[in-house]
Amino acid sequence: MSVLFTLIIARQLNWRLCAVLGVISLLGALITVFLLPRKNKINCLAFLSIALAFGMFSARCAFYVEPMEALDGTTSEIVGAVIDEPVFDGERYLYRVRVDKVAESDIADFKTIISSRRDLKLSAFDNLSATVTFYNDVNDTHRSENVFIRGYVNEYKTKLKISRGKETPYRYAISARRAVRSAISGRLNGDEGALMTSVLIGDKGSMSKSALNSIRVSGISHITVVSGLHLSILTGVMLKFFVSFMRSKRKASAATLLFVVAIMALAGFTPSVVRSGITCTIYLLGTIILKRSRPLHSLCIAALLQCLLNPFVVYSLSFLLSTFSTLGIITFEPKIRRFLYKAPICRFKIARGISSAVALSLSAQIMTLPIVITTFGYVTPLSVLTNIIVGLPVTGLVCLSAVASLLCISGVFAYLGNFLMLIAGLDGKFILFVSDIMSKPGFSTVRIASLAAYMVIGGICIIFGACLLLPRLYRFRLIAVLMCFVIAVGCCYYAVVENPTVTVTSFVTDEGAAVLIRDGDYAALIGSTAKVYYANGVSAAVNNLGIEKVNLIILPESEMLSGAAPDLLRNLSAEKIIYNDERIDLMKLDGATRSKYTECRIDMTERVSAEINRGYILLSVCGKSIVVPTARTKTPTCDILVSPPEFITTTSYAKYAIISGSTPLAFAAGERLSRLGTTSYVVGQTRSLSTYIRGESVSFSPFK
């Protein structure tokens, strides 16, 4: 696990710093070998594993990531092949492509994801030649799949050449995935059918945004990603099925092993299913050779193998949640279950069953809490109760969906498959109903930011230290006390100090800038939406923050920067919109109040107001002035300037400046401002930076 934890740390650092830390760790290993006593040789292995992790990460960044990032913003002719089936996310068609050649560049043989608003009529294993505009991935989402640059095709300008390429054995998995999707969608429409598809193959593209949001807020989003939960259920069922026929557990384990590989291929070999697949494989191999494998050892071996094969697997949120939830179950579930069993009510069998479910859910969420807080900025207190309620229905849904799909595809006993599909649909409706109910209360999500998050994470670290160091007799009692103390302190700090804070989240690119103002329940999005992929990135970031509807959207005056305004408004709901784009007049926006762009002053909350001027928007937040330029014009002196580098002029001055960092022009602008005494934050093209303003204090969060 030391390799995994080191890679998680390396993810937050510069690769050059990782290389230095790797060398230092290697020197530490040599010192422990030659200078320390023999009993400290275990420290040598720890230093070597840390050096290996830092070295792999920095080498991969140097040889793979940096060359790919050099393509950012370029438009080139590529030659390559589609390596997986196309995906439609509701707005765009996404194609995974292996690029064999880039015109006028020595960069070749890499994977990318190409998007298009029009169906390019591409299928898996097709060879293609097209003109692609490259851009950096939003939030490094696909780095775990070795995709370091993305691209989009202008379907009206590119000349696309397509030819059929050589197929690989992976075509069987693609065909099976299509058959499962067709079997379910042909019999069940709506979110319950989409939920069945997601639990079998991990495809949740056809699920509505409201259902996805309810599932996420209620804390059961793990059921929509094929991981250890799904694979353990299916593996257990198949193992019992084969044992009943073969009368030999060793032969049944060998047959189940092939089934595990098939499930991994059906789910597209995502990091979470690969991790659980390796764990199940180790368990089954142990059964075959009459050896009993320990769960913790199996988990560590599975995590180590994935980290060695692909150090960027730590960018996969599903992998991290799957790994740490399993670690939490192994570490804490027996202790919590024994503690709950001591209650007098647990003399009854049903109470013991509920206690076991509580222990399982709570132990998994203890370990994943730091990841959830740092990724999403909130916790879901009702998730334990929700997981208990839907635990048995989810197990039934996985089994029923798999059996029903198999019967419907094979054509054998199709009537029975249709009947099971109907039962699975009712099961899915129940799960969606529970998630919808649990996501309604105002306390279903508790937002935690900055210092409160670090308090909770620090408390978790203290708990782990206590678990490892203190005597066995006092471990669990102290853990329970510390957990209550950490949660109480974190929540009190959040309620007293951070809740009154106004948060300004900045989204910056080379060609535009926008800010999201959050003051309690009020949210306003102000600024530019220059490109389609930028607008989609902003709307996705707003949705990830749990904001279903913003109160106000102010679009820029410049036509160049408002070019993708309709794309933004298709993904975001707003109560009031201020704009100047004539295309918005024709859009259906669910009754939003509209007004044309004019010079005026807008009072948003008691602490936040906006002033629209010719060429820029001036915000007043808790007495602090924030300027968002919408054209290259003279801007007033302010506290915070959020701007693309092109709009920073010689007259620009601010105490702080947040500008794009994807081109040398941005660094030059930041250096010019720093000479005038400005503290500049040069951020990446697809990254965001949150500013916390309260009275006289201004603080900046880490990049997200």
304-335 pLDDT, tens digit each: 888 888 888 888 877 888 888 888 878 777 77
Q: What is the mean pLDDT of the chain?
A: 76
Cβ atoms of residues 674 and 680 within 8 Å: yes
What single string gives the DSSP state of each residue in 459-481?
HHHHHHHHHHHS-HHHHHHHHHH
Helix axes 414-438, 383-410, angle to 10 degrees: 160
Distance separating alpha carbons of residues 113 and 99, to the nearest angstrom:
10
Give the containing element (helix H, strand E) for 299: helix 295-309
State the pLDDT at residue 473.
Answer: 45
The dihedral over CA atoms of 626, 691, 13, 665, expressed in degrees to the nearest 10, equals -10
Ramachandran assignment for 481, one of left (phi > 0), alpha (psi -120 to 50 degrees), beta (any other): alpha
How far is it, in rounded angstroms, from Cα 347 to Cα 155? 67
- Residue 574 and residue 566: Cα distance in Å, rounded? 13
Q: Which long-range contacts (CB under 8 A, 24 or more apart) does 479-487 make?
A: 479/332, 479/335, 480/339, 483/366, 483/459, 485/459, 486/455, 486/456, 486/458, 486/459, 486/460, 486/462, 487/456, 487/459
pLDDT at 393 > cutoff 80: yes
User: How do residues 518-575 score in pLDDT, each as one tens digit?
Assistant: 887 788 888 766 665 566 667 777 776 667 778 888 877 655 555 566 667 777 777 8
Distance CA 253, CA 131 (A): 49
Element (H, E) at 691: strand 688-694
**Phi, psi torsion values for 226, nearest 5 degrees:** -70, 115
Over range 501-523, report the average pLDDT: 78
Three-state SS for 359-410 is HHHHHHHHHHHHHHHHHHCEECCCHHHHHHHHHHHHHHHHHHHHHHHHHHHH
Show Cβ contacts of residue 480 under 8 Å, excluding neighbours closer than 6 positions: 339
Classify strands 75-82 and 126-135 as parallel, antiparallel or unpaired.
antiparallel
Is the separation of the CB atoms in 681 and 698 below 8 Å?
A: no
Joined tokens for residue 242 = 């084969």
pLDDT above 50 (res 704): no
Cα three-residue angle 451-456-461, rounded to 5 degrees: 120
Confidence band of 598 (pLDDT split at 50, 70, 90): confident
Instruction: Give the tens place of pLDDT for each residue, 332-349.
Output: 777 777 777 777 777 777
CB 265 within 8 A of CB 170: yes
Q: Name the range with the highest mean pLDDT among 287-301, 484-498, 595-609, 674-688.
A: 595-609
Q: What angle do CA 345, 464, 313 make, to 5 degrees?
A: 110
Q: Which of 304-313, 341-350, 372-381, 496-505 has the highest mean predicted lDDT (pLDDT)?
A: 304-313
Residue 409 CA to residue 432 CA, distance in Å, equals 26
The helix-helix angle for 414-438 and 191-201 (nearest 10°) equals 100
Look at residue 172 in the predicted model and tell me its pLDDT: 84
How many angstroms separate the CA atoms of 225 and 198, rounded?
A: 7
pLDDT tens digit sequence for 254-273: 888 888 888 888 887 777 78
pLDDT, residue 50, reads 82
**CA geometry: angle 332, 475, 491, nearest 5 deg:** 70
Q: Both tokens of residue 649?
A: 């002029």
Contact call for residues 566 and 580 (beta carbons, < 8 A): no
Position 493 pLDDT exceeds 50: yes
User: What SS3 string covers 537-550?
Assistant: HHHHHHHHCCCCEE
From residue 368, alpha-carbon distances to 94, 326, 379, 474, 594 in Å are 30, 9, 10, 24, 42
Assign 671 to helix, strand or coil: helix
Lowest mean pLDDT across 44-48, 605-609, 612-616: 44-48
CA 403 vs CA 149, 196, 421, 588: distances in Å: 39, 12, 9, 42
Indicate if the pLDDT at residue 75 is higher than 60. yes
Q: Is 520 left (phi over 0), alpha (psi -120 to 50) or beta?
A: left
Q: What is the crossing angle of helices 414-438 and 170-185, to 10°? A: 80
Residue 612 near residue 555, CB atoms below 8 Å: no
User: Which whole number is the average pLDDT over 99-106?
Assistant: 82
DSSP bridge pairs for 624: 621
Tokens of 612: 């629209």
Is it the case that residue 161 has pLDDT exceeding 80? yes
CB 366 within 8 Å of CB 335: no
* DSSP state letters, 147-213: EEEEEE--TTT---EEEE----THHHHHHHHHHHHHHHHTT--SHHHHHHHHHHH---TTS-HHHHH
Close Cβ partners of 577 (under 8 Å, ≥ 6 residues apart):
552, 553, 555, 569, 584, 589, 592, 593, 594, 595
CA-to-CA dists, residue 679 to 103, 210, 346, 670, angstroms: 40, 41, 60, 8
Mean pLDDT over 39-65 rounds to: 78
Give CA separation, 449 vs 370, 440, 459, 491, in Å.
12, 22, 15, 11
Q: Which two tokens stand for residue 629?
A: 């330029």
Nearest to 318 by CA among 219, 226, 212: 226
At residue 229, the pLDDT reads 74
**CA distance linking residue 610 with residue 599, whole number of Å:** 10
Least confident stretch, 380-394, 527-541, 627-641: 527-541
Can you tell me the mean pLDDT for 495-511? Answer: 69
- Note whether 462 and 475 are within 8 A (CB): no
Nearest to 57 by CA among 120, 3, 2, 133: 3
Q: Does 596 have pLDDT greater than 80?
A: no
**Tally of CA atoms within 13 A in the half-sphere of 353 that contains its CB:** 6
* Averaged pLDDT for residues 350-377: 75
Tokens of 97: 């492509």
Choose among 600, 601, 555: nearest CA to 574.
555
Closest CA to 387 of 461, 453, 317, 329: 329
Rounded-to-10 torsion of CA 575, 576, 581, 586: 50
